[in-house]
């Protein structure tokens, strides 16, 4: 649908022209799955599929949501003295509210003086399909709110600031993400991928080999990661792995260790390959065995209250089993693959790119357990058909595969 068509639909709905039109692209992650929240580098690129938001000021103290996709219900959010508190089981419009709230907080705008809005939302990013429809809506919402409140855009908040802000505000829909989606959506450049580094946020353009063709295929099933604990469970398992290894290495302030990258830095900026050795040394149980809650408490020499406060999140407070060794092994091996992938791009070595993608999928499937039978079957069919490489992309448990031909 063209922008002119969207403007026409807006006029038909609200009897006025939109004041702003915002577009935010989706993304595909070529390699570096489930490691951004461990603060390791990732290598995604933006895609043409996008989320559009058309907006005009409302005279009422409300935000009215209208989605051209009829399966998303129309909704009106009343702006009151109380800020929208967030949720752990988000409706579609609450992804907008997450970005909206983040901007009000960033710009120190009192909710009572915030402007009402009439919104039309349209997207070509398939929802819950591993190409970041949710984060695209959060980012587009934030930019829409900036425009509506100030009449400006990146003069107020830079692209990198917007990326970091929206990564934080997505916590209001219950997901403890790492920032990859927001970074590529705000920083993408046409025709290239980006290697994105975290803490501090930096990005490096990566030119893909001209003879490499990447395709993104849907396996036929979807999953809303915001409505389950799968994603947050992995975040926590990685954190616990880092904290236990920190404790065993004599780090006194293990409670402040939040990520596996934090741990590598504490141990002398060890490389991901060196950290794989460290995992084998410090986490004695076999990778195919979980640690129960009692074992975690004993390893950390801590109590339930501190464990909940410093290690868990809202969706994992009652979790009893933690697969920490295999999660750490995935993160460190995947982190190494990102840099090998970047080097293979420089060399134009598509065979090596395919090999790394296959290794990534195997690790996601076996160590991180974020695949599903339908995804595995899709990957296998692509490889049998002669593709150089294939792997799941996105959070996993359903959704899409990235394929290199």
Dist. CA 171–CA 220, nearest whole Å: 28
197 counts as catalytic: no
Residues 240-255: b if buried by 16+ CB within 10 A, e if exposed: bbbbbbbbbeebeebb
Catalytic residue among 110, 181, 273, 366: 181
Nearest Cα to 65, choosing from 41, 95, 26, 108?
95
| 124 phi, psi to nearest 5 deg | -105, 5
**Residue 339, C-beta contacts closer than 8 angstroms, at least 6 positions apart:** 41
Residue located via tokens 């988000």: 90
Cis-peptide, bond into residue 200, ω within 30° of zero:
yes
And the tokens for 179?
């920032």
> Cα separations (Å) of 23 from 56, 122, 188, 304?
15, 10, 13, 45
Question: Looking at the annotation, which residues are catalytic?
Answer: 181
């Amino acid at each position: 649908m063209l922008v002119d068509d969207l403007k026409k639909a807006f006029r038909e709905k609200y009897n006025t022209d939109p004041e702003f039109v915002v577009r935010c692209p989706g993304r595909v992650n070529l390699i570096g799955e489930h490691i951004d929240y461990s603060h390791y580098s990732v290598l995604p690129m933006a895609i043409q599929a996008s989320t559009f938001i058309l907006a005009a000021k409302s005279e009422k103290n409300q935000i009215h949501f209208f989605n051209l996709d009829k399966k998303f219900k129309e909704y009106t959010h009343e702006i009151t003295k109380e800020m929208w508190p967030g949720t752990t089981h988000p409706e579609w419009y609450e992804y907008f509210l997450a970005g909206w709230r983040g901007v009000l907080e960033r710009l120190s705008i009192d909710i009572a003086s915030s402007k009402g809005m009439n919104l039309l939302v349209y997207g070509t990013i398939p929802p819950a399909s591993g190409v970041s429809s949710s984060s695209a809506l959060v980012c587009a919402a934030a930019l829409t709110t900036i425009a509506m409140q100030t009449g400006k855009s990146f003069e107020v908040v830079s692209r990198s600031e917007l990326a970091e802000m929206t990564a934080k505000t997505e916590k209001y829909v219950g997901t403890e993400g790492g920032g990859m989606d927001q970074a590529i959506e705000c920083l993408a450049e046409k025709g290239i991928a980006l290697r994105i580094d975290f803490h501090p946020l930096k990005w490096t353009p990566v030119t893909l080999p001209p003879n490499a063709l990447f395709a993104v295929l849907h396996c036929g099933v979807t999953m809303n990661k915001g409505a389950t604990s799968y994603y947050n469970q992995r975040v926590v398992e990685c954190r616990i792995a880092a904290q236990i290894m920190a404790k065993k290495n004599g780090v006194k302030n293990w409670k402040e260790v939040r990520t596996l990258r934090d741990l590598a830095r504490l141990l002398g900026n060890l490389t991901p390959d060196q950290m794989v050795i460290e995992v084998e040394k410090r986490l004695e149980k076999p990778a195919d065995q979980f640690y129960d809650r009692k074992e975690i408490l004993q390893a950390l020499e801590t109590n339930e209250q501190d464990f909940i406060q410093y290690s868990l999140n809202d969706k994992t407070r009652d979790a009893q089993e933690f697969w920490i060794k295999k999660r750490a092994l995935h993160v460190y091996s995947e982190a190494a693959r990102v840099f090998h992938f970047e080097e293979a791009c420089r060399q134009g070595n598509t065979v090596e790119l395919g090999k790394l993608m296959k290794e990534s999928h195997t690790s996601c499937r076996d160590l991180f357990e974020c695949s599903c039978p339908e995804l595995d079957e899709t990957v296998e069919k692509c490889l049998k058909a002669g593709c150089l490489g294939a792997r799941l992309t996105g959070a996993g448990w359903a959704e899409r595969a990235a394929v290199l031909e």
